[in-house]
Every structure is written in structure tokens, then in C-alpha cells.
Amino acid sequence: MINAPYGSTGFTPDFDSRLDEEANLSQIWIEGTFGNTIAKIGRMELDTPLLNTEKWNLAYNTFEALTLSNTDLPQTALLAGYVTRHNGHGGGAFEGGGLLAGSPGRTVNMDDFTGRDGANLFFLGGTNKSVENTTLQAWYYYLEEGVTLFNGVGTGQIDAFWLQADTKVMDMFTLGAQFAAMTPDNLNNSNIWALKAATDVMGMNVYAAYSSAADDGFFGFANLSTGDKTNIYTGLASIYFDGVLTAPGVDTFKIGGSGTVAGVGLAAAYINAQDLRGETIDGLDFSATAKVGPVNLMAIYTTILTNDQDNTKTPANASYPFYKGREIDSIRLIASYAF
């Protein structure tokens, strides 16, 4: 895939005409296998809780990295990586109401995580399925040097952690728990926890989830590369930029369901989130998928409501959520053909 130039995707207009014709190869890598270990180097997609490739847009965010994966341990998959460059927008975007929490989302040119040399990222994690019907995850991230804020204060080095457990009980109920934390050298620590329960009813999967981010934190828990999407349960599989739900002081409740009717896949979800100032976000997602011959079709409708519709300004700083004062309705139609 050829990625788009800086500022030309997402909601942000392209003010830099010098880059109108620029493009990036999204993936080019080589790998080698040594027993149960795979080494991979180059520009690639990643899939970890806090650092991942998002595929909601035509131009995916990817990474220049070296990764090692290993499956020697029983029922265990380990992954380590050293990332030097990426083409996401995050790592310092204040456009989302909390650093790394729901930015407008644009795909930018390959750069390091802070726009400076030397600020690379290391991660180590794994999943384990030794316990029957249970998947355990643990991840650690180390950012060598964080961002410098508008007031000149730097975050310093940042350590981040992600713990998750998902299990199926009595072959009927799926339960999950998550905890994540970030500990910058020079700022308040941040953390968030979330719970989820799901079951199948009359051929439909229904679920409920709740998350709560610490009031005194500084970071949100969206994708470190983009600031747009999150893997916290209350945002997972949403269609809008759900990273805003992980901003400090935000409590979120989500319910949803999915199933298939007459060959059409249907899904719907509702979220309600409130921050420390009493500002709320209500969001609805609806989607339908079907296949007509060799063509895959998808229709998506999303609506976002807030309790402050008269305030249409969206300040670009960490004090206000991206959706403040907005009512957003969007429809997306997608047709794809694999060959």
C-alpha cells in the first residue's frame, strides 16, 4: 500500500503544499525463521495493545522496527520489538483532549515518535493460554524520551504496562479484565482499568463494558502511534475515534451486540462517557456487512452527541475533549474485492 502525504487524511486539512505529491511504502520487510523464533526487520504492521496498526482508514499507520517472536514455551507466544520510526500522528498530539486520547487522526510521514532523533520505543509482551478457556496478556513499553510540552516541560522517559485476562465461564459467559499504566519521569502517573462481560442470546452476542481512568493522570491510553483508537474494552471495535474515552478522569459505560440475519452481519453499540467537568459523550455505532458475489460490502453509521452543543469550538489543548461542543453524524460505505 502507498500511504498518503502528511495532513491529507483524517479531519485535518493539508496546509503543506510541498508534500502534496509525497507517498510512502507502508510495508517493506524481510524475516528469517530459526526454530520457533522469527526475526523480522523493516517497515511493517504491528499488533500490540498500546502500539498497533489501525485499519479504519485507507492509509494504514505502520512502523520501522526489528521484532523477535518466539513460541518455545507451551501455550505461550512472546513478542519483542524495537521501533525507530512510524507514520502515525501520536506521541505528542494535543488535539484530542488529553495526550494520546482521541486526536483528529491523520497519517503523517515516517518520523520517530517525537519528531526528534533518538526517541525510540522498545516493547516486550506475550500471551498465555495454559489455563483452560483463558487468555492472559502482559506487555511492557519503554519510550526512551517522551515529548516536550507547550510549556517547555518534558515528560522524560516513559514506562507503560498493560495487563489483561479473558476467560469463558460455563461455556456461556465471556469475562474480561484490563489494567494499564504509564509512568513518565516528570509528570503524574496515569492508569485505567476496565471490565467486560459477554454472552450469546438467540444467536446474537451481547456485551457490556465499563472503564475508569484515574483522575490525576496525564496520559490517555489510545494507540501510541496515532492517539485515535484504543484497545480498552469500552472503545474496542467502535467506529469513531474512541481513544478519547481513555483520557484522564473519564468514566465510560458501553453496551453492544452483533449477529447475522439472512446472511447480513449486523452490529450495534452505545457508549456513555463523562469526564471530571461533567461533560458527556453519547455515541452510537451501527454497521452492516454482506457479500455479493466476490464483492464485500459494508455500511457504517456513527453519531456522536455531547451535552454542550452551543460550544462549537474545539480547543487544541489537553483541557478539552476533541468532541466537545460537537454533534457528529457520519455514514461510510465500503466495497472491497480481493484478488
Q: Please answer whether residues 195 and 233 qualify as being in contact, where contact means their C-beta atoms are separated by less than 8 angstroms.
A: yes
The structure's pTM equals 0.84
Q: What's the mean pLDDT when you consider all of the chain?
A: 80
Percent of the chain predicted with pLDDT > 90: 47
Q: Does residue 93 carry a pLDDT above 60?
A: no
* Mean pLDDT within 102-120: 49
CA–CA–CA angle 223, 148, 242 (5° rounding): 20
Q: What are phi and psi of 245, to 5 degrees?
A: -70, -15
How confident is the model at residue 151, as a pLDDT? 57
* Mean pLDDT within 140-163: 77
DSSP bridge pairs for 195: 177, 210
Q: Does residue 324 carry a pLDDT above 60?
A: no
From residue 165, give the alpha-carbon distance in Å to each of 62, 98, 103, 176, 255: 27, 27, 28, 6, 20
Instruction: Report residue 39 as a C-alpha cell.
Output: 526475526
Q: Please answer whether residues 196 and 164 qualify as being in contact, where contact means their C-beta atoms are separated by less than 8 angstroms.
A: no
How confident is the model at residue 307, as a pLDDT? 67
Q: What is the pLDDT of residues 258-296, one digit of tens each?
A: 999 999 999 999 999 988 878 788 889 999 999 999 999
Closest CA relative to residue 65, chosen from 225, 180, 232, 221: 225
- Give the integer Cα–Cα distance in Å for 301 and 215: 32
* Mean pLDDT within 297-312: 75
Q: Does residue 101 carry a pLDDT above 50?
A: no
* Residue written as grid cell 498465555: 128
Percent of the chain predicted with pLDDT > 70: 74
* Mean pLDDT within 184-210: 93
Closest CA relative to residue 9, chosen from 1, 20, 18, 42: 20
The residue ranking higher by pLDDT, 319 or 128, is 128
Q: Please answer whether residues 51 and 83 qualify as being in contact, where contact means their C-beta atoms are separated by less than 8 angstroms.
A: yes
Q: Does residue 153 carry a pLDDT above 90?
A: no
- Give the integer Cα–Cα distance in Å for 97 and 104: 10
Long-range contacts of 184-188 (CB under 8 A, 24+ apart): 184/146, 184/155, 184/156, 184/157, 184/158, 184/218, 184/219, 185/146, 185/155, 185/156, 185/157, 185/158, 186/153, 186/154, 186/155, 186/156, 187/153, 187/155, 187/156, 187/218, 188/216, 188/217, 188/218
Q: Does residue 35 carry a pLDDT above 90?
A: yes
- Give the integer Cα–Cα distance in Å for 238 and 110: 26
Say whether 4 sits in a helix, a strand or coil: coil
Q: Name the CATH superfamily housing domain 2-249.
A: Porin (2.40.160.10)
* Mean pLDDT within 168-196: 93
